[in-house]
């Protein structure tokens, strides 16, 4: 059975105090910490890399680090991310695959001791993950174009979430991009159970209240 999982994106935290903000998210009830890893090539932005992940792991030994790899060659990142302490490695199916394809990449992620997920850009359909789903721990449906926080939620991606939920009823389905208490009901009604939120949490004067509201939406949908 799937459960509600709230994963605040530290891309919107105070980067000068990332360890403190991360600990605060856990204290406020967050389940995971979402780390957006960007290489400046797959997406135009640059963000966290293995040294930041390793530092955060050292400061937050028990936190589940949910790492979203927006990189052109994810296979090159498996070893460094595992060594840094990542718990989950989510790669884009649109990125360059190693020899053996996505199945080989998923196997290497799991062999390195991490959970494996595939992310889908808004223009990529649900069928793209069909042959890999049995090997995955999570599917991430992007509800904005990947690369920058603060974008508007794309409600037209909810049909994709519905399709994935119908096909894989026990899969963790994550949505990322523009999620807030105002938009989350659309995502949870479609079947998402893992909610990433960035500016909605870190830009709020009531961060715990936002986390609680996101969880309440997932829980309501799961119980209906």
Both tokens assigned to 62: 């028990």
pLDDT of residue 44: 87
4 carries a ligand binding annotation: no
135 carries a ligand binding annotation: no
CATH number of 5-223: 3.20.20.70
Q: Tokens 């509800």: give the residue.
A: 143
pLDDT of residue 149: 65
pLDDT of residue 112: 98
| Residue ranges covered by each domain of the chain | 5-223
125 carries a ligand binding annotation: no
For residue 50, give the H/E element and its range: helix 50-59
176 carries a ligand binding annotation: yes
With CA atoms as reference, report the closest residue to 153 among 222, 133, 161, 66.
161
Both tokens assigned to 67: 């790492």
Both tokens assigned to 95: 């990125």
Decide: 60 and 40 in contact? Cβ < 8 Å. no
Decide: 69 and 38 in contact? Cβ < 8 Å. no
Chain centroid, CA 43 distance in Å: 16
Q: Tokens 């994810």: give the residue.
A: 74
66 carries a ligand binding annotation: no
147 carries a ligand binding annotation: yes
Decide: 174 and 117 in contact? Cβ < 8 Å. yes
178 carries a ligand binding annotation: yes
Query: 10 Å Cβ neighbour count for 60?
Result: 18
- Residues belonging to the active site: 36, 176
Alpha-carbon separation of residue 213 from 34, 83, 151, 181, 186 (angstroms): 18, 34, 20, 6, 13
pLDDT tens per residue across all 224 residues of the chain: 899 999 999 999 999 999 999 999 999 999 999 999 999 999 988 898 999 999 999 999 999 999 999 999 999 999 999 999 999 999 999 999 999 999 999 999 999 999 999 999 999 999 999 999 999 999 999 999 887 666 789 999 999 999 999 999 999 999 999 999 999 999 999 999 999 999 999 999 999 999 999 999 999 999 98
What is the pTM assigned to this prediction?
Answer: 0.96
pLDDT of residue 96: 96
């Amino acid at each position: 059975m799937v459960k509600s999982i709230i994963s605040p994106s530290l891309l919107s935290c105070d980067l000068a105090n990332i360890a403190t903000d991360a600990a605060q998210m856990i204290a406020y009830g967050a389940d995971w910490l979402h780390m957006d890893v960007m290489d400046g090539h797959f997406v135009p932005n640059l963000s966290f890399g293995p040294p930041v992940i390793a530092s955060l792991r050292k400061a937050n030994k028990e936190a589940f680090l949910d790492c979203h790899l927006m990189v052109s060659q994810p296979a090159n990142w498996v070893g460094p991310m595992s060594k840094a302490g990542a718990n989950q490695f989510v790669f884009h199916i649109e990125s360059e695959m190693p020899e053996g394809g996505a199945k080989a990449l998923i196997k290497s992620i799991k062999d390195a001791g991490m959970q494996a997920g595939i992310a889908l850009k808004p223009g990529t359909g649900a069928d793209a993950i069909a042959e890999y789903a049995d090997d995955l721990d999570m599917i991430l449906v992007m509800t904005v174009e990947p690369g920058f926080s603060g974008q508007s939620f794309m409600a037209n991606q909810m049909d994709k979430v519905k399709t994935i939920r119908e096909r894989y009823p026990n899969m963790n389905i994550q949505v990322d991009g523009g999620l807030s208490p105002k938009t989350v009901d659309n995502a949870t009604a479609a079947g998402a159970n893992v909610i990433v939120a960035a500016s909605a949490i870190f830009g709020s004067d009531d961060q715990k209240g936002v986390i609680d509201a996101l969880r309440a939406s997932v829980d309501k949908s799961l119980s209906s």
